[in-house]
């Protein structure tokens, strides 16, 4: 399995994953043009993408999904809540496959299973993607890490976990109080400390790479996110620590056999 975060943060999110002879995107929160460029950046094309799986209807996750679905005839996969919440933005996609949260969906050689997260949208989810050899877990845009989330993320070879904000920067930053409260709430975003606590419980020998994602450009820095992860996890073993960026895609990461 190989994957890349094409970009991550409140200005846009998309993850490219290939394995088992197929490729998918999780979310498509950039314009069609921007997604095309970022795919070129990792030497891939949207023409090779067999499905787009949507986590929730916020614009930074779906704004390019409808356009790209029509342009490249890519089916969209989402639950009823996300489809309803994103109706206007998605327009009329090429094809829509509605799933129920928790269902396992086969997309070519990749198996994709959703799980509920805690966020202020109609039915937000994270995903586990498997190619039969490796499992990748994606979990951002959640205000807390529930037991179910932790159970689903356990056993993955690659984890993408939200490290949204540093609490002091959020408190002392420019966000008005109601917005601060929204970000910090159980249906908001994970702080560095929350992300790090989850990672500390999930770290294991089989975990090859942990990606810190959805960092706020206002209320966080890569150094603070990394510092929180390093402080919480005592034994990294062979696990690589990677920080996703907002403005450029990560080089493709390949999981070892
Ligand atoms: Zn988001
Ligand atoms: Zn969101």
Segments of 140-223 assigned E as strands: 158-162, 209-213
Task: Name residues whose C-beta falls within 8 Å of residue 232's C-beta, 6 or more positions apart in sequence.
Answer: 193, 196, 197, 199, 200
Q: What is the pLDDT of residues 84-96, one digit of tens each?
A: 999 999 999 999 9
Q: How far is the CA of 140 from the centre of ligand 2 (A)?
A: 8
Which one of the ligands is nearest to 143 CA?
Answer: 2
Q: Which run of H or of E encompasses 69? A: helix 65-72
Q: What is the pLDDT of residues 91-110, one digit of tens each?
A: 999 999 999 999 999 999 99
Q: How far is the CA of 17 from the centre of ligand 1 (A)?
A: 19
Q: What is the pTM of this model?
A: 0.97
Instruction: For residue 201, give both structure tokens.
Output: 């419980």
Q: Confidence class of residue 32 from pLDDT cuts 50, 70 and 90?
A: very high
Q: How far is the CA of 43 from the centre of ligand 2 (A)?
A: 28
Which one of the ligands is nearest to 13 CA?
Answer: 1
Which one of the ligands is nearest to 142 CA?
Answer: 2
Domain ranges, residue 184: 2-254
Model pLDDT, residue 257: 87
CA distance 74 to 78: 13
Instruction: Give the CATH number of the domain where residue 30 resides.
Output: 3.60.15.10
Sign of CA dihedral 77, 139, 4, 41: positive
Cα-to-chain-centroid distance, residue 77: 15
Q: How far is the CA of 217 from the centre of ligand 1 (A)?
A: 12
In 10 A of CB 252, how many CB atoms?
A: 13
Model pLDDT, residue 59: 98
Instruction: For residue 209, give both structure tokens.
Output: 């790479």
Q: How far is the CA of 99 from the centre of ligand 2 (A)?
A: 19
Sign of CA dihedral 26, 29, 30, 33: positive
Per the structure, the count of domains in the chain is 1
């Amino acid at each position: 399995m190989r994957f890349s975060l094409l970009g991550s943060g409140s200005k846009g999110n998309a993850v490219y994953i290939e394995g088992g002879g197929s490729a998918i995107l999780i979310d498509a929160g950039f314009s069609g043009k921007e997604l095309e460029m970022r795919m070129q950046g990792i030497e891939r094309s949207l023409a090779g993408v067999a499905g787009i799986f949507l986590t929730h209807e916020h614009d930074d996750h779906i704004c390019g999904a409808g356009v790209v679905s029509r342009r490249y005839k890519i089916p969209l996969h989402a639950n009823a809540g996300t489809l309803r919440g994103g109706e206007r933005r998605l327009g009329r996609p090429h094809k829509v496959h509605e799933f129920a949260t928790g269902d396992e969906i086969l997309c070519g050689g990749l198996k994709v299973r959703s799980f509920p997260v805690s966020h202020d949208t109609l039915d937000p989810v994270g995903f586990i993607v498997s190619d039969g050899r490796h499992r990748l877990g994606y979990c951002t845009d959640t205000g807390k890490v529930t037991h179910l989330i932790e159970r689903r993320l356990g056993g993955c070879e690659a984890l993408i976990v939200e490290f949204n904000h540093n609490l002091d920067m959020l408190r002392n930053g420019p966000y008005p109080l109601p917005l601060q409260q929204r970000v910090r709430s159980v249906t908001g975003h994970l702080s560095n400390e929350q992300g790090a606590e989850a990672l500390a419980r999930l770290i294991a020998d089989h975990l090859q790479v942990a990606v810190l994602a959805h960092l706020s450009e206002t209320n966080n820095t890569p150094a603070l996110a990394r510092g929180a992860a390093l402080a919480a996890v005592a034994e990294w073993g062979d696990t690589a620590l990677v920080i996703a960026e907002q403005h450029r895609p990560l080089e493709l990461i390949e999981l070892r056999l």
